Structure 1
Amino acid sequence: MTGKDWLVRNDGQCLACDVGSQTEALSHPYRLYRFLTDLEDILDCVSDNRLRLQAIRPLVRKLLTSSSWLQIPTLAPNLETGWEVLTLYDEPFFPLTVQLVAWAPGMTSPIHNHGCWGLVALLSGEEKNTFWQRSPRPEFPDRIEPVGKCLLTPGDILCLMPDAIHHVEAIGDKPTISFNLYGETNYNQRFEFEPAQGIAKHF
């Protein structure tokens, strides 16, 4: 599965990244446990979030390309909430969460940051991301304004720095399903934003 790679900086600017060569031939599927082991090596050796994301992207693309269970996702949005999350990996005291996330067409997330590095690889559907930037005034210290958009299609990978602010909208006529990775969340720095009121609350 090929696509485009993007990085969203802490100021909301979305930059295209070099996908690089993906021509490596694999004799066996790149299974999740091998992916997790390779990922742990990166987390142990690389502390800078931007460099971590740069190193993780090729591993995710390798997983997307060779793992049939990811190419044919079966997760469906909850009929009541319009979304669903399936946790594939979340170990206590280890800074990594791996999920499949499904959104029903037309669903929109709150405006939020994650308080950690994150990566979203789209498996099916279309997802519009809108990016925001803090532009505080004394009376509204949590004021934000939109600074850009990016449409993700299957095979695209979006990397998010810890303070990147965005919201997602599932567009088109079928559910959006993504493979998501998150580092260790700093919940004191994770917020949901309300731009009309210029306020933020813990999320």
Structure 2
Amino acid sequence: MAHQNWLITDDGSHRPFGDADMVEPGRYYRLFRFLTELEDILDTFHDDTSRLEVITPLVRKLLVSSYWLQMEYSAPNPATGWSVNFLYREHEYPITVQMVSWLPGHHSTIHNHGTWGIVALVGGQERNRLWKRAPQPQQPDRLEQIDELILNPGDIVALTANAIHSVEPLGDEPTVSFNLYGVTDFSDRYEFDPKTHTAKLF
């Protein structure tokens, strides 16, 4: 099955980009080198889309070259249905690197991240529902579902800062993903309730 890179934007639309099956040959690509190259990219590119299009191939290269990363996750917590294992956070360095796992039968809230983000599916299968803001005079946080994507191992979604999605594992096995975000505090991240048409920080 061919892999795919998807760019998801603030208005809920998505498009494929890049050559997802093209991995640059070369020596072992270490996490420290990946993070150093990220720092250079952030200094050079200043809009979400440009950053995501440059960083996504490096994420794929990292996962293909550094298989140990794919095992750096924790089993999902049965009480919450998910777990997060932080691979890298550093004070005043605007990057968070995580491994996230979800149990089947659970799902995320509808949310944005308040920053650009890249999610690479490592194991399992996952449905991403895509939403956009559709404010009304009495419902400023009203949403509309625009589409959905089914992700398989090797697929990557790149999200702009105010892209809104929800995540649901499919099948009988947990999903595992490598998640990269352009902040460490998530102070602009919101979750949305489509029944009450409200939003709150989380």
Q: For this structure pair, what is the TM-score category when the shorter chain's length is used for normalisation?
A: over 0.9
State how many pairs are aligned.
202
The residue number in structure 1 matching 2:18 is 18
Encode CA deviations 1:115-134: one digit per residue, 9 max, x unaligned: 00000000000110001111
Distance between the aligned counterparts of 1:109 and 1:165, measured in 2?
Answer: 12
- Structure 2 residue identity aligned to 1:121: A
The residue number in structure 2 matching 1:4 is 4
- Structure 2 residue identity aligned to 1:24: E
Distance between the aligned counterparts of 2:156 and 2:187, measured in 1?
Answer: 27
Alignment of structure 1 residues 45-194 onto 2, 5 Å: 45-72=44-71, 74-184=73-183, 189-194=188-193
- Structure 2 residue identity aligned to 1:106: G
Distance between the aligned counterparts of 1:171 and 1:69, measured in 2?
Answer: 24
- Structure 2 residue identity aligned to 1:56: I
Does the CA-based 8 Å contact 1:117-1:182 persist in structure 2?
yes
CA-CA distance at 1:106 after TM superposition:
1.8
CA-CA distance at 1:53 after TM superposition:
0.4
CA-CA distance at 1:23 after TM superposition:
4.6
- Structure 2 residue identity aligned to 1:167: S
Q: Does residue 202 of structure 1 match 2:201?
A: yes
CA-CA distance at 1:105 after TM superposition:
1.1
CA-CA distance at 1:189 after TM superposition:
3.5
- Secondary structure of residue in 2 paired with 1:100: strand
TM-score by length of 1: 0.93
CA-CA distance at 1:70 after TM superposition:
2.9
- Secondary structure of residue in 2 paired with 1:189: coil
The residue number in structure 2 matching 1:36 is 35
- Secondary structure of residue in 1 paired with 2:137: coil
Change (3 A) 1:117 1:107: same
Does the CA-based 8 Å contact 1:2-1:65 persist in structure 2?
no
Return structure 1 stretches of 4+ with deviation > 6 angstroms: none
Does the CA-based 8 Å contact 2:73-2:100 persist in structure 1?
no
Encode CA deviations 1:90-136: one digit per residue, 9 max, x unaligned: 11111110000000112100001010000000000011000111111
Distance between the aligned counterparts of 2:65 and 2:135, measured in 1?
Answer: 45
> Which deviates more from structure 2 when the two are superposed, residues 183-192 or residues 83-92?
183-192
Q: Identical aligned pairs, as a percentage? A: 51
CA-CA distance at 1:178 after TM superposition:
0.3
> Which deviates more from structure 2 when the two are superposed, residues 73-82 or residues 53-62?
73-82
- Structure 2 residue identity aligned to 1:3: H
- Secondary structure of residue in 2 paired with 1:86: strand
Change (3 A) 1:142 1:186: farther
Distance between the aligned counterparts of 2:120 and 2:180, measured in 1?
Answer: 9
